[in-house]
Every structure is written in structure tokens, then in C-alpha cells.
């Protein structure tokens, strides 16, 4: 990749980093003349359509963020036929927060808290736009050489209402900074970012991580179950108020953390105030991560039924015995029926069995929910998708998102995925397209035509209309339609540029005595061109223009006309170059202003001395160029009045 030019615009200079999905390079933007960072999808994923969709969705999500503490996204693109897909973003010349912590060991409260404030401020901005970072860690916090803090890699950000911890039930993010709900594989939200920021602040002020282990699984389980060593046990210099922020952010149950990034930001902004120096320690709520669910006490109910059945059996038995005795007495003790008592026991047992079966069915009805298979609603119109979910006894949760590929009011994606078995009345997330995203029309007025056209790459079409405008340089855009900051969808928008043709005629400038680059620049300013350049000896010094044709200075010429230049190759052999010392005396007390004008073989009036202030006799060395046909005169002016004229003749020596 290094040395390659992407999109005929971005030069790849060197590799500066990489992750599981992409490699990051330092690059150079030829068009705007600035350094950029270029994130290139790894080759093994370039042929995977699902990865590519996620790769460009991350750019679309991050590009909607505009905040001084978030790395800006400039452009996305691909190299046709080479399976190279890239994102162009702001280049931050500096180092990561992780490197800074490792260098210093740990940071003081006064240094760590302002960094945390800037990170939290960036999260407030992202969360307001329903974007969750989901991978906050010191490796993704950049510190510029100017001290600026920038949060980067919103690459796994997803709409806040649309994200679970993974795309395919695999763990994402760095396990040391993972929230308990991420480690569990449950739904993630804004509070997951706040937990991760709490870990980052913990590491900044202690130099250690709250959890560590031999494997990622070990660390993830600690996030779920284990307590951590409190920051002030490691570094007693930490203020109690700062420790309180960390303790609240690291509560395992999200319900007891900060309710929003804005709440945490407000707390951080006052945490170093003297009024909070002696505040009480934050106490962790002693609650399970999951609420206790109260189930029916089926054991007690079953025992009650059994007790009832046993009593019934005993009553039956007693009544039967009394009846038998009465019969025996009536029959004169002729003999009791031997089958009655066993029959009573069998009947009692059957009653108990029936009661157990009834109880089992009752428990099953209370606790068991039928499972259904999630249908596919991808690309369906919203009403059709809602109807299909209703048919499957599933509950919809709808969020909207811009998408350049999916038609408005149609489903972009769903969660859980089609074919997943879930309980009835499970909530299914439907991400619905709001259509193509509209962007602010850039301001092109004041740009040169070619530069403005380059920025219209990706728009449906553009037209250029040229008009004569004497007050505007030729080739400059002076109006546009649509105007700046109008919301447009680039792929559907036609743009009209109005470009100045400048003036039809211009005044020929004076070029004598200029170098070729100076003369060329002056001609281009007047929309004129340099024609043929001839080199000949002349009485002007080497490299200076001594003649131009076919136009004279001050003449009106057509725009686009060519001007031929004659440039001095050095003095001719008969030229005489001498230095004449001119002594000038002040005419009065105080400063006298001296100007010395030379007319010699160079053919121009040359001020050898200009606006020189003297208050005592002063000698000025004056260089003269003489020829057999041209002597020289030296005219001295004092305080604006001619004081002396000296003639210097050609001697040929």
C-alpha cells in the first residue's frame, strides 16, 4: 500500500496502526494539501459483503459527528478491481493516552480529570445522536502535540437503540474496559460507555487496571462478579470526590451508574472544586445485577393439597370402619368386608396422583412461554414488517436511520436475526430507512473552477456557466445553486456553478527589469500568457527582462494574449560598470531625507538610494552601467528637492 495513490488524491505514506478489521496509514491529500489518516479494510475482509457494509456504515455514523474532541471523517472510497476499501479521516500528530499513562506511571487528579471531561463531552455529543462508541479505552484516545484530546475509532458505533454487544454473538472491544452487560452479551447502551470511561479514569489516576487475569474470559467474569481494589487504596493522593466518580461509573448494575453522559460530565466539571474536597464516600448499592423474580411457591401449594387428600383418606377410612362395625353389629358379627379398606387406600393414592398432575400443568402454564422463529423482514416496507411480526406474536421496536441503499420506510436490518428461536412477545428491533442522508451543500464561492468541480465528486451532475465579471478574477466561482449549507442528497442533486471570465481586455503591465517568474506571475494576474522567451546580452543584469513584444506597457490588450520576452544573458562586451561615490551633506540640523536617481545604459530610472535619512555627511556608493551610446546622470534629492545633478561619461576603459 505504501507509495500508492488512492482515488487519484490520497498518497499513502506510512503505516501508523491497525486493528482487527483495518490497517491505518498516514497519508497526504493532494487536493487540499494536508496530512490525513487512511483506514484500509484488511484484505481478508474486502471480499466479504457484510464486512464492507459495516465498514462503510461506521464511516457514515462517525461522519455525522462534529465535535472538537472527536476525530473528523473526511471521505470514503474504494479502488475498483483491487478490493481496496478505505476511510479518510483527520490525522492527529501525537500519541495515545495509553502510551502517555505508561510513560508517566499514573496521572494526578488535576491532569486526569480535564482529559476525562473532554472524553465525556465527546460521548455526550455522540449519545445525543444515538451513537454508542462501545470501545472506549486509552488506545482510542489521541493526544495531539498541541495537547488536544481526540476520541477516535467510532468504528463499532451503532444506533443506541439498535445495538447489542456483537453482530454475531462474538465479543467485541477490549476486555479490560468492557462493561458487565457487554461481557454478559446483553444489550448495550450509553451506560456501557460510561463504565468504560470509569475504567479509563481508574487507570489514569492509579496506573493500574481494576481487573486483570490470565485470559479474556477470566477478566470478563471479574467484570461480572468480582469487586475491585478501590483507587485510594492504590494511590492515597486521589481526592475522595474523584474516587466517587470512578466508584459510581463502575457499579455493575447499570441502573445505579450515571444515568447519562451529561450527568457524568456535570459531575466531572465540579469534582476538583474546593467545596467537594471533604465529601462523603460513594457507597455501592448492595443489589444483584438482575432483579429477583418472584415465582409461585408451588411447594407450599402442593403440600396443602397433599394434606387435604390425606385428611380425606382418613375420614373415608374412619367412616368405613364405623359402617363396617354397624353392619357387623346388625348382622350379629357375621364378618366385615375385607376389600373396603384397601380400596380406600387405592382411591386416596389416585386422588394424590391426579392432584399432582393438575399442579404440574398449572406450574407449566405459569412458567412456560411458547417459542417462535423470528421471520425475515429485511427490505420489507414497515407496515408489512409490523404485520408479519404480529402474526408471529412478536413485539416491534422501531428506530430510524439514514441509508443510501435502502428505500425510505423499508427495513435496513433487524435484531434478532431471521431464524432465531425466541419466546413469544420478545421485542424485535427494526431499523427503518429514512432514505438517503442529506448533507450541507459546501460553499464553493471563491474557489477556482477546477477545485470546485473536484469537490462535486459524488453529486448527480453539475453545470458550469461562464460570465464576464470585471471585478472577479477569471476562473473563480462567484455563485452557486444550491447555495451553501442547503440540505441536499448528493447522488440526487444537480449543481450549477457560475464562473467568472474576468475582463475582455486588460492593460499591459510594465515588465522591464523583472525576472522571468516575476513577469509570468504579473501576466497571469492580468489573464495574459508568456509567449516565446529569448536570451540576449543587454545592459540589464543577467536574468532580467529588457524588452517585450508585440505590446508596450500601458497598452490595452485582449485577455489571453501572448507576450514575448527578451531576457538579459549578461552585459555586452562594450559595457562599462563602475561605482561612483557620492558624498551628501545634510542641509539642516536633524534628519535630512536623501533620494538618488540614476539614469544610465539600463534604460530605466533607478533609485539607487530611496528615502534614506542622514544627520551627518554620508558617502553613498552608486553602481552605474555605461555604454558607448549612453552616458549616465546621477540626480540627488534632499528633502524632496533637487540638490545636484552629476554627469558620468563613458570612457571605454
Residues 534 and 386 in one domain: no
Residues 107 and 209 in one domain: yes
Residue 256: pLDDT above 80? yes
Is the residue at 653 inside a domain? no
Is the residue at 480 inside a domain? yes
Residues 239 and 273 in one domain: yes
Residues 145 and 245 in one domain: yes
Residue 16: pLDDT above 50? yes
Q: How confident is the model at residue 161 (pLDDT cuts 50, 70, 90)?
A: very low
Give residue for cell 488506545: 139
Residues 334 and 390 in one domain: no
Is the residue at 293 inside a domain? no
Single residue among 41, 56, 91 that ends a domain in this structure: 91
Number of domains in the chain: 7
Residues 15 and 157 in one domain: no
Prior bond to 43 cis, omega within 30? no
- Which domain covers residue 166, as residue numbers? 94-285
Distance, CA of 186 to CA of 601 (rounded, Å): 91
Q: What is the pTM of this model?
A: 0.46
Estimate to the nearest angstrom the gap between the alpha carbon of 404 and the chain centroid.
19
Distance, CA of 476 to CA of 450 (rounded, Å): 9
Among 11, 109, 121, 135, the one annotated catalytic: 135
Residue 26 has phi, psi (to 5 degrees) of -85, 135
What digits encode the pLDDT tens for the residues 551-575?
Answer: 888 888 887 889 999 999 988 988 8
- The region of weakest confidence among 206-215, 293-302, 495-504, 639-648 is 293-302
Q: What is the pLDDT of residue 169?
A: 36
What's the CATH number where 380 sits?
Answer: 3.30.10.20
Average pLDDT of the residues of the chain = 82
Single residue among 367, 383, 417 that ends a domain in this structure: 367
Q: What is the pLDDT of residue 507?
A: 85
List the end-to-end C-alpha distance of the chain, in Å, as a whole number. Answer: 67
What digits encode the pLDDT tens for the residues 545-555?
Answer: 989 999 888 88
Residues 259 and 179 in one domain: yes
Quick check: 121 and 150 in contact, CB under 8 A?
no
3-class secondary structure, 497:
strand
Is the residue at 358 inside a domain? yes
Q: How confident is the model at residue 176 (pLDDT cuts 50, 70, 90)?
A: very high
Which one is predicted more confidently, 237 or 165? 237
Considering only CA atoms, which of 274, 254, 258 is closest in space to residue 266? Answer: 258
Single residue among 248, 263, 285 that ends a domain in this structure: 285
Residue 292: pLDDT above 50? no
Is the residue at 290 inside a domain? no
Distance, CA of 335 to CA of 328 (rounded, Å): 6
- 391 catalytic per annotation: no
Q: pLDDT > 90: what percent of the chain?
A: 39
3-class secondary structure, 43:
helix
Give residue for cell 494511590: 235
Q: How confident is the model at residue 171 (pLDDT cuts 50, 70, 90)?
A: very low
Residue ranges of E strands in 503-629: 505-507, 529-536, 545-549, 556-558, 562-568, 576-584, 592-599, 605-614, 618-626
Which one is predicted more confidently, 653 or 615? 615
Residue 579: pLDDT above 80? yes
Residues 113 and 260 in one domain: yes
Q: What is the pLDDT of residue 342?
A: 76
Residue 62: pLDDT above 70? yes
Q: What is the pLDDT of residue 265?
A: 95
Residues 120 and 198 in one domain: yes
Q: What is the mean pLDDT of residues 420-439?
A: 86
- The region of weakest confidence among 212-226, 346-360, 465-479 is 346-360
Amino acid at each position: 500500500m505504501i507509495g500508492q495513490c488512492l482515488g487519484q488524491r490520497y498518497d499513502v505514506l506510512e503505516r501508523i496502526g491497525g486493528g482487527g478489521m483495518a490497517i491505518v496509514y498516514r497519508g497526504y491529500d493532494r487536493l487540499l494539501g494536508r496530512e490525513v489518516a487512511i483506514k484500509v479494510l484488511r484484505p481478508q475482509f474486502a471480499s466479504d459483503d457484510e464486512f464492507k457494509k459495516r465498514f462503510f456504515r461506521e464511516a457514515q455514523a462517525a461522519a455525522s459527528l462534529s465535535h472538537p474532541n472527536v476525530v473528523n471523517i473526511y471521505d470514503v472510497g474504494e479502488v475498483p478491481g483491487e478490493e481496496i476499501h478505505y476511510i479518510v479521516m483527520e490525522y492527529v500528530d501525537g500519541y495515545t493516552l495509553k502510551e502517555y499513562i505508561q510513560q508517566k506511571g499514573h496521572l494526578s487528579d488535576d491532569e486526569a480529570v480535564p482529559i476525562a471531561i473532554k472524553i465525556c463531552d465527546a460521548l455526550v455529543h455522540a449519545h445525543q445522536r444515538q451513537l454508542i462508541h462501545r470501545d472506549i479505552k486509552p488506545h482510542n484516545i489521541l493526544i495531539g502535540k498541541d495537547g488536544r484530546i481526540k476520541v477516535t475509532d467510532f468504528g463499532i458505533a451503532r444506533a443506541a437503540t439498535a445495538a447489542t454487544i456483537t453482530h454475531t454473538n462474538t465479543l467485541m472491544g477490549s476486555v479490560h474496559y468492557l462493561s458487565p452487560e457487554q461481557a454478559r452479551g446483553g444489550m448495550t447502551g450509553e451506560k456501557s460507555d460510561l463504565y468504560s470511561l470509569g475504567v479509563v479514569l481508574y487507570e489514569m489516576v492509579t496506573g493500574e487496571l481494576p481487573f486483570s487475569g490470565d485470559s479474556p474470559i477470566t477478566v470478563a467474569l471479574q467484570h461480572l462478579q468480582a469487586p475491585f481494589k478501590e483507587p485510594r487504596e492504590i494511590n492515597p493522593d486521589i481526592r475522595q470526590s474523584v474516587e466517587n466518580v470512578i466508584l459510581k461509573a463502575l457499579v455493575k448494575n447499570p441502573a445505579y451508574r450515571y444515568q447519562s453522559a451529561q450527568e457524568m460530565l456535570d459531575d466531572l466539571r465540579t469534582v476538583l472544586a474546593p467545596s467537594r474536597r471533604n465529601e462523603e464516600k460513594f457507597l455501592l448499592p448492595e443489589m444483584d445485577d438482575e432483579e429477583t423474580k418472584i415465582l409461585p411457591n408451588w411447594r407450599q401449594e402442593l403440600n396443602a393439597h397433599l394434606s387435604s387428600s390425606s385428611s380425606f383418606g382418613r375420614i373415608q377410612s374412619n367412616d368405613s370402619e364405623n359402617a363396617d362395625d354397624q353392619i357387623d353389629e346388625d348382622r350379629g358379627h357375621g364378618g366385615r368386608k375385607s376389600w373396603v379398606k384397601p380400596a380406600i387406600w387405592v382411591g386416596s393414592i389416585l386422588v394424590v396422583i391426579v392432584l399432582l398432575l393438575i399442579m404440574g400443568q398449572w406450574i407449566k402454564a405459569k412458567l412456560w412461554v411458547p417459542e417462535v422463529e423470528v421471520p425475515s423482514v429485511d427490505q420489507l416496507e414497515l407496515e408489512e414488517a409490523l404485520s408479519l411480526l404480529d402474526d408471529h406474536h412478536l413485539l416491534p421496536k422501531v428506530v430510524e436511520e439514514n441509508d443510501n441503499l435502502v428505500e425510505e420506510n423499508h427495513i435496513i436490518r433487524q435484531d434478532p436475526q431471521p431464524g432465531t428461536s425466541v419466546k413469544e412477545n420478545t421485542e424485535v428491533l427494526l431499523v427503518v430507512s429514512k432514505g438517503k442522508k442529506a448533507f450541507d451543500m459546501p460553499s464553493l464561492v471563491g474557489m477556482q473552477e477546477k477545485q470546485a468541480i473536484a469537490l462535486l465528486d459524488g453529486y448527480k451532475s453539475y453545470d458550469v456557466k461562464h460570465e464576464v465579471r470585471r471585478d472577479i478574477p477569471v476562473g473563480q466561482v462567484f455563485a452557486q445553486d444550491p447555495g451553501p449549507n442547503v440540505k441536499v442528497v448528493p447522488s440526487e442533486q444537480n449543481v450549477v456553478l457560475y464562473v467568472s471570465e474576468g475582463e475582455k481586455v486588460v492593460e499591459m503591465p510594465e515588465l522591464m527589469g523583472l525576472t522571468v517568474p516575476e513577469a509570468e506571475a504579473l501576466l497571469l494576474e492580468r489573464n495574459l500568457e508568456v509567449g516565446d522567451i529569448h536570451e540576449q546580452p543587454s545592459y540589464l543584469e543577467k536574468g532580467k527582462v529588457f524588452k517585450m513584444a508585440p505590446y508596450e506597457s500601458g497598452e490595452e490588450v485582449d485577455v489571453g494574449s501572448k507576450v514575448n520576452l527578451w531576457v538579459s544573458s549578461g552585459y555586452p562586451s562594450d559595457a562599462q560598470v563602475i561605482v561612483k561615490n557620492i558624498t551628501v551633506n545634510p542641509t539642516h540640523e536633524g534628519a535630512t531625507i536623501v533620494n538618488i536617481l540614476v539614469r544610465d545604459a539600463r534604460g530605466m530610472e533607478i533609485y539607487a538610494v530611496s528615502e534614506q535619512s542622514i544627520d551627518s555627511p554620508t558617502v553613498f556608493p552608486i553602481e552605474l552601467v555605461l555604454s558607448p551610446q549612453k552616458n549616465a546622470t546621477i540626480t540627488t534629492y534632499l528633502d524632496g528637492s533637487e540638490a545636484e545633478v552629476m554627469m558620468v561619461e563613458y570612457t571605454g576603459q
